[in-house]
Amino acid sequence: MKRLKLHCLLSVLIAHVCQAFSATQKPNILLIVSEDNGPELGCYGDPYARTPNLDRLAAEGVRFENAFVPYSVCSPSRACFLTGLYSHQNGQIGLATHKFALYREDTPNIVTLLKPAGYHTGLIGKLHINPESAFPVDFRAIPGANFNRREKAEDYVVAAEKFWSQARKKPWFLSVNYPDAHLPFLRQAGGRPAKVQTGKDVKMLAWVGAESPRLLEVMADYYNCMARLDDWVGLLLDALAKTGADKNTLVIYIGDHGAQFPRGKGSVYEGGLRVPFIVRWPGHAMAGLVRKELVSTIDILPTALRAAKVTPIQKLPGWDLVPVLTDFQPDHWRSYIFAMTTGSFPRNCFVQHSIRDTRYKLIVTAQPGTENRIADSYLDEKHQHFVVSGVRPDERKTVSARTEKAYQRWEIPPRYELYDLKSDPHEWNDLSDDPDHSAAKNRLIKGLVDFRTRTRDPFLDPANVESFVTEQLANRDLGYRKKKSFRWSYLDSFPAWRATDAASDSQ
């Protein structure tokens, strides 16, 4: 009996010590990022998605129903969630492959903030932000985009296992960036998915508005990409579990922006901005919880810093999501989600901003009544970058009158567009001129101006819009890509404007 009591007492003491250690131990952080996909997952209710691994991740953690990116193109989106700053704040307002960059190389980011806190840091897959030296990770593997899918899922796992072995006893941060579901939509790669879908198995995304036998085959291959992505994520999570580190790892999964279909990637419509966002953190995130709050990928950095017990060195615009990883109901939460686009490179140049709340969405066009080159890349076969997932002239002839009106509005946008997302979630019916919705319109206009003023958006000044667009359109031949010393003028003029504006605000 004495031995039994001693054993029980020892067990209790060990449990208390382990619990105390777990409470003070910094968690590992695994950030999984997929390309060009919205919430087309089974756990988000998509009937054509085959995503059991991501569905299981959601069942083991928290799924955010209303999650968005601040910019629906790769480089700006990634710069936003890694720096915790909006595009106009960090400078990456276009594609890295087209010489767009951060204003400053010393911009604080998730790598430079976690390393001094003792974290071993790593990046597998593309970064796609300039300059890459701003993210001095300890470990780098598979640095290319891998859009041809030559590197297989196993290559990513091998790289991750090497990174974990190098971390030893240190907490670690690892970002793993997968190529799916970026174009080309490969039906099968490396034997994945084992069973492919065809056009007979799927329907078009509801917000596209067009359908044809050809488009359905493209759509099927997008879902095949999603199934392959799910396989890759499953292998990575299985490898993590084998290390035993999964119990103390904060896993965050997001898509970097919406799918590359009309009114999706590149736009400020919901199809481009809404993404999957799943968080699993054993002992902290409630399994199977679904949160309805408006969240943004801009929230990733403050959340990671909170988990790692790191104080940010500057005020970040995002929200710490730790309080909403359980069923706790915060007294206050954000009212609005903001986004922008510049078109991301000269041939798609077009400046728009958006703001949405839980019901209404406002889109503001900087130069209304002019050609939207983003729309052209999906709706005009003569555009130099017309994509296979775009709508061809013969297919456009078959769309409904409602869709055609929306396409025309997208091609030549008015100053304002207003949508009631409760009754019109796919943004077909513009209510900006409806007097019954003038109060919502005016409230959102004010909210957007307040946000852009508070965060010192250079595009608030029409002169900055004009100079930016003029320079972009003057470089549509893309000759700058061969000039090593080429530098966009906004990289100097926008910080100067922001500094002057900040100085005037403080007076």
Amino acid at 240: L
Calculate what percentage of the chain has a pLDDT beyond 70.
94
User: Residue 307 is which amino acid?
Assistant: A
Q: Tell me which residue of 240, 195, 245 sits closest to 28, measured CA to CA.
A: 245
Predicted confidence (pLDDT) at residue 7 exceeds the cutoff of 50: no
DSSP state of 132: G
pLDDT of residue 24: 58
* Residue 424 located in a structural domain: yes
**How confident is the model at residue 504, as a pLDDT?**
53
Number of folded domains that form the chain: 2
CA-CA-CA-CA torsion for 184, 187, 191, 194, nearest 10 degrees?
140
The burial class, CB within 10 Å (0-12 / 13-18 / 19+), for 74 is buried
Instruction: Give the pair of three-digit tokens for residue 34.
Output: 């997929």
Q: How many CB atoms lie within 10 A of CB 292?
A: 11
Model pTM score: 0.94
Mean pLDDT within 221-250: 98
Q: Is the pLDDT of residue 385 over 70?
A: yes
Asked whether residue 492 is assigned to any structural domain, the reply reads: no
Could you tell me which of 441, 448, 447 has the C-alpha nearest to residue 420?
Answer: 441
Residues 165 and 114 in one domain: yes
For residue range 343-368, list pLDDT tens digits in order.
999 999 999 999 999 999 999 999 99
pLDDT value, residue 507:
39
Host domain of residue 269:
26-323
**Does residue 1 have a pLDDT over 60?**
no
Contact yes or no for 201/48 (Cβ under 8 A)? yes
Do residues 65 and 147 both lie within one domain?
yes
**Average pLDDT of the residues of the chain:** 94
Task: Give the strand pairing for 337-341 and 277-280.
Answer: unpaired
4: confidence class by pLDDT, cuts 50, 70, 90: very low
How does pLDDT run across 389-433, given as a tens digit for each residue? Answer: 999 999 999 999 999 999 999 999 999 999 999 999 999 999 999
pLDDT digits (tens, 9 = 90+) for 192-214: 999 999 999 999 999 999 999 99
Q: Which helix (H) or strand (E) holds 251?
A: strand 249-255
Query: Is residue 44, in this structure, part of any structural domain at all?
Result: yes
- Flag whether pLDDT at 460 surpasses 70: yes
Q: Residue 314: which pLDDT band, with cuts at 50, 70 and 90?
A: confident
- My answer on whether 42 and 122 are in the same domain is yes
Confidence category of residue 502, pLDDT binned at 50, 70, 90 = low
What φ, ψ does residue 380 adopt, rounded to 5°? -125, 110
Cis peptide leading into residue 302 (ω within 30°): no
Question: In this structure, are 167 and 234 located in the same domain?
Answer: yes
Domain containing residue 173: CATH number? 3.40.720.10
- pLDDT at res. 312: 79
Domain membership of residue 12 (yes or no) is no
The CA distance from 428 to 408, in Å, is 11
Q: What is the residue-wise DSSP string for 482-503? A: G-TT---THHHHHHHHHHHHHH
Q: Say yes or no: 298 and 436 in one domain.
A: no
Give the separation between CA 280 and CA 291, rounded to whole angstroms.
13
Reported confidence tier of residue 10, pLDDT bands at 50, 70, 90 = very low
Say yes or no to pLDDT of 20 above 60. no
Whether 281 is covered by a domain: the verdict is: yes
Closest residue by Cα to residue 41 from 33, 51, 30: 51
Q: Does 319 share its domain with 343? A: no
- The answer on 87 and 235 residing in a single domain is yes
